[in-house]
Structure 1
Amino acid sequence: MGSLLLVLVLVTCFVGLSAWQVDRAQHKNDAVDAADVEEIEPFNEVMEAQAPMPGILADQRVSLSGHWLPDNQVVVPGRVLDGDKGYWVVTMFAPDGARLGAPAGADADDKTIAIPVLRGFTTDEQTAMESRAAQGPVEMKAQIGPVEGPKPGNSLPEGQVRTVSTSQLINLFPDLLTYSGFLIPESASGEAASIATDGLEYVPPTTTREEGGFDLQSAGYAIEWLIFAVMALYMWWQLLRDDFVRRRLGSDSDTQDPASPVEYVVVKSAGRSSIDPEVMSGLTGLPAHRHGAKKPRSRRGRSADGADSTNATPTEGN
């Protein structure tokens, strides 16, 4: 009963863990929904320069103001818009009131804090290389995109890079401090808006987060926990069955007296292919013929007192 109680506790835990995994599978994007990335937040309240960007900020909409740094610009080839292959034009943008998230050294005060901004797309390489942002104040609403991993671009012309990687941009523009992310504008206003201008097409923001749905990985874990529960019950049943069989055969080692010698019976002699029926009969208490021996034949024609009726002579009267 004690082992049964323990198994029931384990089964309850396993079933509870399975239910928890099912709940996770159905609500895998609760944290994303709770973040409410559709709500526009002030840029300087959610982003800090020289600091890692939490993944929860991907696709977050922000508002900011500042000005362009037209000379600090890169062109990214191999991009696609509406099925056309072309180039991104990415220009550094200095936000007003930018904050540093980590110490950047004694010379940080001499550097400008800026973030890469996707100004537009074009299929013409010359247009991309010659396009420049205007000087002046800009107000912008944009979506935060996660930076891409760096890729070697030694074969590219000067001013072109393969990815929007802040680690590469810092090497290209050593006088700047930047962020672990870039901006995809939704709209811009001001005398120097410069979004989708000067021969560039507008690039709409895209969603980088996973869509909602049923998480197959969590569902698989839920099934595994149920299998563990069934295995626990099966193992308990097997132990109970084995214990019952031992007790029935009288070979339960737990009831043996340690002071009493243990007797061993050899039921099969060396060199023989079968067990002696007489030995098995002594062990089980069943007749020897039940273990393979020949069944003894009964004698016919014997009287109740044991006399052979065939030798009896009829008595005749005198």
Structure 2
Amino acid sequence: MAPAEVFAPTLREVMLRPWWIGMLLFALAVAAVFAWLGQWQLGRSIDTNPPPPGITETVKPIVEALPPGQYLPEPLVGQRVDVVGSFVADDFAVVSSRFNDGVEGYWVTAQLRLDSAGLPVPTSIATAVGWTANRATADAAASALDALAGSAVSLTGRLISDEGPALPPRGGAVTDMSRMSPAALLGMWHDTTDLNVYRPYLVADGGDSLAGIVAASGLAGIDSPAPAQGSNVNWLNVFYAVEWAIFAGFAFYMWYRLARDAWEKEVEALEEAAGSTPQEVET
């Protein structure tokens, strides 16, 4: 009697087997998790309560804007504040790679010891007080401004995030700075025992004392425009949401690919078995 003919299963028949139905349910669960993550990421990509335009231009006392020791949140970058305090002697430093109206030059910076109700004592903020295109002028201004140390000053300016410390330029002195970093300046300041320090720095652009400081030092005022109005859409989060959607689709693709591979191997095995004769087996 001739052996019964064995027919190869179709891909659909393989996919409907209990094992692959179970794998499909697992793929559905994985895709559901990825879809939820994508929806969560998309919900975070749009700021439904953005700050009003021009909010940074309303001058606030610094104690109302941000306490010392905290990072500057994005809505407050460029916030104008007023401060009252005095410069600390021998803590005027020069920072290079500063641009004023597109011209590269130098900032003269200072440790401003704050004198405001509501702030812990002592508290300081790194302050950029003026700009010049010439390094020699900047060094001379830093020395001249020591005469104002201890005198009360009242300034208005913008809060800007720490740019982070950097190595000094090749061949330069270890005190040369090309980034405005309160963390780096703190390492060079005097009288820092138990000192509270603001993480952002202040770019002075007005106030009762600024004109006299600029005139006494030969510096120019720092060009400090209002920050550009940002979009209320976080495109990075949108990109992440798209990635999660792709991962969800990939879960189904993996299930299909594995099921197809299993079907192809089964069909190939049946074809090989059907093509083998008794003589071929004996040899």
Is the TM-score greater than 0.5? yes
Deviates more, 1:119-128 or 1:52-61: 52-61
Partners of 1:11 and 1:232 within 8 A in 2 = yes
Residue in structure 2 matching 1:226, options 241, 245, 269: 245
Deviates more, 1:77-86 or 1:212-221: 212-221
Please give the alpha-carbon distance, in whole angstroms, between the structure 1 residues aligned to 2:97 and 2:259.
68
| Structure 2 gap ranges (5+) | 1-17, 265-269
Partners of 2:205 and 2:221 within 8 A in 1 = no
Map of 2:180 onto structure 1: 164
Map of 2:111 onto structure 1: 92
Partners of 2:111 and 2:189 within 8 A in 1 = no
Map of 1:21 onto structure 2: 41
SS across alignment from 2:119: coil
Distance 1:32 1:54, change over 3 A: farther
Residue in structure 1 matching 2:124, options 108, 114, 119: 114
- Deviations 1:43-95 (Å, cap 9, x if unpaired)? 1244445x353444533332221223354201123322223222111122121
Partners of 1:73 and 1:159 within 8 A in 2 = no
| Structure 1 gap ranges (5+) | 101-108, 246-250, 252-264, 276-318
Q: Measure how far apart 1:144 and its partner are.
A: 1.2
Distance 1:235 1:60, change over 3 A: same
Residues 1:141 and 2:151 aligned together = no
Residue in structure 2 matching 1:184, options 188, 203, 226: 203
Residues 1:128 and 2:128 aligned together = no
Map of 1:279 onto structure 2: none
Q: Measure how far apart 1:116 and its partner are.
A: 1.8
Distance 1:268 1:46, change over 3 A: same
Map of 2:215 onto structure 1: 197
Larger Rg: 1
Distance 1:80 1:238, change over 3 A: closer
SS across alignment from 1:172: coil
Partners of 2:56 and 2:226 within 8 A in 1 = no
What is the percentage of aligned positions where both structures have the same residue? Answer: 25
Alignment length (residue pairs): 243
Amino acid at match of 2:96: P
Partners of 1:14 and 1:229 within 8 A in 2 = yes
Amino acid at match of 2:178: R
Residues 1:175 and 2:191 aligned together = yes
Map of 1:79 onto structure 2: 98
- Deviations 1:278-314 (Å, cap 9, x if unpaired)? xxxxxxxxxxxxxxxxxxxxxxxxxxxxxxxxxxxxx
TM-score, normalization by structure 1: 0.57
Q: Measure how far apart 1:22 and its partner are.
A: 3.4
TM-score, normalization by structure 2: 0.63
Residues 1:269 and 2:263 aligned together = no
Q: Measure how far apart 1:242 and its partner are.
A: 9.8
Distance 1:48 1:270, change over 3 A: farther
Map of 2:167 onto structure 1: 151
SS across alignment from 1:189: coil
Partners of 2:84 and 2:152 within 8 A in 1 = yes
Please give the alpha-carbon distance, in whole angstroms, between the structure 1 residues aligned to 2:167 and 2:212.
28
Higher helix share: 2
SS across alignment from 1:72: coil
